[in-house]
Structure 1
Amino acid sequence: MESVLRPVAVIGGSLAVTLIAGWAADLVLRRAAARHPETPLWGLLRHCRLPFQVVLCASLLRGAYRQAGILPDHAFVVGSVLNLVLIASVAWLAVRIATAAVDSVYARYAATAADEARVRRVRTQVTLIHRVVSAVVIVVAVASMLLTFPQMRAVGASMLASAGVLGIVAGIAAQAALGNLFAGLQIAFGDTVRIGDTVVVDKEWGTVEEITLTFLTVRTWDERRITMPVSYFTSKPYENWSRGGAEMTGTVYLHLDHGAPVPLLREHLEQLLPGVPEWDGRAWALVVTDTTPHTIQIRATATAKDAADVWTLRCTIREQLISWLATHHPDALPRLAPPDPTPGPSA
């Protein structure tokens, strides 16, 4: 009877201690978050409750399973399983703590920083740092789990003898992957491109949506996603419209007749812009930039706060100017001479 009651008591006691400890830790964190609402760390650490409970329960059972007589005929298997669970749960807890710390630092910085570009830079850096830390923790955890088996230790010793050859082969095979890895770190700390930047790559413009250690995702204006290796942004030229500020100048070209009333068109643009919400009020202009035997080229420019607004602003200016010309000065629009219906002399 004792051989049954003792394992049940140990397992039940471990579960009870785990539940009580998890509840107490959550209560402390909840009160800390209520007292210090300016610090989001305490609230984020509450997400660590489940891995903390698994670590505690696995530790208690790992230390008492032999004395408790839990499956005494399979003690080695029980010990191995508990070791694996303990290592995996510790890694899980470490990743959750790192996530809470990174998110807390970013949230506090974003709440106080006034420069949006610097906020995007910090967001990119902390995201990549979190991915690196998570990858290191997972690799160490998997290696530790494998080393708990005596057979794997022997395999590891034999693999070390040929580590030089394997290292050369792995280096050649993983050259592209390592290049992307270092390119991702270069992007994170070189501040060349950030999450939220407006970029033009391969004649497509969009917003940087995600940056990892190996690839970068750009969301285009029509909601497509372009996924590219991060090494592209360290080896090829591209346009970053958010670098040094998101403000932009939009340009609209019109081809009109030589008799077009340019001063009146300039006055109409001046009256039009205050009613366009996308115009930021910084600057505007309308000039004749070129002439051909049939038309003149008019260039109208206006400023906007970002790439999305400048696109809408250009479309509005183009539509309104053409509509005004067609209504008040239709003779200013270019006219094409009709083809001569009289056939020429035959050769």
Structure 2
Amino acid sequence: MTVQSPSDWPILIVSVIGAILVVEVARRILSRAGLKWALARHLVEHCTWPAFAVAAVAAFNVVFGPGMFGDTQQDRSLGGTVDQVLGLLTIASVTWLIVQASYALTDVVLDRLVLVQGEGNRRARRIRTQIGLVRRVAAAVIIVIALGAMLFSFPQVRALGAGLLASAGIAGAVVGIAAQPTLGNMLAGLQLAFSDALRLDDVVVVNNEWGRIEELTLTYVVLRLWDERRLVLPVSYFTQNPFENWTKHGSQVVAVVYLRVDWSVPVAKLRDELHRYIQGNPLWDQKDWTLQVTDVQKNGLIELRALMSAADSPSAWDLKCDVREHLVTYIRENYPDALPRFRVDLPDEGRPAATWSTVTSPDGGSGARS
């Protein structure tokens, strides 16, 4: 029996369709189970097309089994070519399915870690970072093994194996030198993940740019900046250069507001007003706050520093802006004499020296009075 006759092709078509229908039935069952079972949902999302590919290749292998081709030299040659192609497709499709299934399994854990808040958030982000990098390494290793298996399925490559092994030292040195930057970044990525120096969603300052770690791969890090820009840096940058990590020991961030005002400002009343305001602001996490006089500047103004804690950096930024706006409005409306003023003595002939003060309002306007 050979598949060269037209009557044999319906067998192949029926086999492929039957295999695909089996996968489709399994997909529908898992889709319904996915409403209550997270793993089933992720298997459907990741493994549908790889499973179709494996089913189709398996059907081809069944149809084009031993004895499906004739005994002539031409038939044997055709059969060998078909077997070679089917072997390559089988390795490729099975590798695709294994990689996607591993992603589906790890996604179940990652989904649960995303929901962790509060004190466990830092540990959850560390585990998410490590799982993301480990599964990328595992996928790379699986793909390399699959490529090796595909290459060694060719008799010519197997025949060259002894010669290649003899020169493996020289080839390895050449490849190592050429791939040094890439390998360095990969090792740096693993170092960052398992040393807990950097995690997904960490708030960092790099080159005076404030942002959040959006993606951490084996070769590069994507930093989402506050204005929605993306700063892409090699992983090795974070092992060779200093950077600020605001969430190294937790997600809680302290918001800081500085005010430069006149000496006449009533600090105690301003402190009470700050406490009253942040108690009604949902962005404050009800933990830490203070208002202190931190400096007397050379221009004659005093510096007030207000500190308020927030659950995370976005909340801290919004809370800082709200508090600054409220305090500026409160001082302007209730204590206008405490607005920033720069005093200058202007001596005049025939008249005693007069003291002038320039009043600068928070919105940038100014005026002079004696």
Q: Give me the CA root mean square deviation.
A: 2.8
Is 1:88 paired with 2:92? Answer: yes
Give 2:293's match in structure 1, choosing from 288, 297, 301.
288
Deviation at 1:280, TM superposition (A): 1.9
Tell me if 1:304 matches 2:310: yes
Q: Which residue of 2 aligns with 1:79?
A: 83
More strand by share: 2
Structure 2: gaps (5+ residues): 349-370
Residue of structure 1 in register with 2:163 after alignment: 158
Task: List per-residue Cα deviations over 1:225-265 (Å, max 9, x = no partner).
Answer: 11111222233332222222211222222222222222222
> Which segment is superposed worse, 61-70 or 196-205?
61-70
Map 1:1-347 to 2 at 5 A: 4-5=5-6, 7-26=8-27, 29-30=30-31, 33=34, 37=36, 39-46=37-44, 47-65=46-64, 67-69=67-69, 72=75, 74-108=78-112, 115-292=120-297, 294-337=300-343
Confirm or deny: 8 A CA contact 1:25 1:49 kept in the other structure: no
Distance 2:273 2:61 in 1: 82
TM-score between both structures, scaled by the size of structure 2: 0.81
Distance 1:213 1:278 in 2: 35
Q: Render the CA deviation track for 1:105-133: whole Å, top value 9, x for unaligned.
A: 33355568872222222221221122112
Residues of 2 paired with 1:224 and 1:143: CA distance?
40
Is the alpha carbon distance of 1:277 and 1:33 closer, same or farther for their aligned partners in structure 2, counting shifts above 3 Å?
A: closer
Which letter maps to 1:90?
V
**Alignment-mate amino acid for residue 284 of structure 2:** W
1:79-136: CA deviations, max 9, x gaps? 2221111111111111121112111233355568872222222221221122112111
Shift of 1:341: 11
Structure 1: gaps (5+ residues): 343-347
Stretch moving more, 120-129 or 9-18: 9-18
**CA–CA separation in structure 1 for the residues paired with 2:112 and 2:337:** 60
Which amino acid counterpart does residue 98 of structure 1 have in structure 2? S
Structure 1 window deviating more from structure 2 (113-122 vs 230-239): it is 113-122
Q: Which residue does 2:354 correspond to in 1? A: none
Change (3 A) 1:292 1:75: closer
Name the count of aligned residue pairs.
Answer: 339
Structure 2 residue matching 1:210: 3-state secondary structure: strand
Deviation at 1:221, TM superposition (A): 0.7
CA distance in 2, matches of 1:27, 1:160: 49
Do 1:196 and 1:207's aligned partners in 2 also have CA atoms closer than 8 Å?
Answer: yes
The alpha carbon displacement at 1:147 in A equals: 1.8
Identity, in percent, stands at 41
Tell me if the contact between 1:200 and 1:206 (Cα under 8 Å) persists in the aligned partners.
yes
TM-fit CA distance, 1:204: 1.3
Following superposition, the deviation at residue 217 of structure 1 comes to 0.7
Deviation of residue 30 (structure 1)? Answer: 4.9
Deviates more, 1:41-50 or 1:270-279: 41-50
Find the residue that maps to 1:303 and give its secondary structure: strand
| CA apart distance, 1:28 | 5.3
* DSSP 3-state at the match of 1:287: strand
Residues 326 and 177 of structure 1, relative CA distance in 2, 3 Å threshold: same
Per the TM alignment, residue 211 of structure 1 is displaced from its structure 2 partner at its CA by 0.9
What secondary structure is seen at the aligned counterpart in 2 of 1:177?
helix
Question: What amino acid sits opposite 1:77 in the alignment?
Answer: T
Is the CA contact (8 Å cut-off) linking 2:221 and 2:235 kept in structure 1?
Answer: yes
Change (3 A) 1:28 1:310: closer
Q: Do 2:20 and 2:55's aligned partners in 1 also have CA atoms closer than 8 Å? A: no
* Residue 144 of structure 1: how far off its partner (Å): 1.7
Distance 1:112 1:275, change over 3 A: closer
CA separation in 2, counterparts of 1:326 and 1:237? Answer: 41
- What is the DSSP-based 3-state SS (H/G/I as helix, E as strand, rest coil) of the residue aligned with 1:245? coil
Which moved further from structure 2: 281-290 or 14-23?
A: 14-23
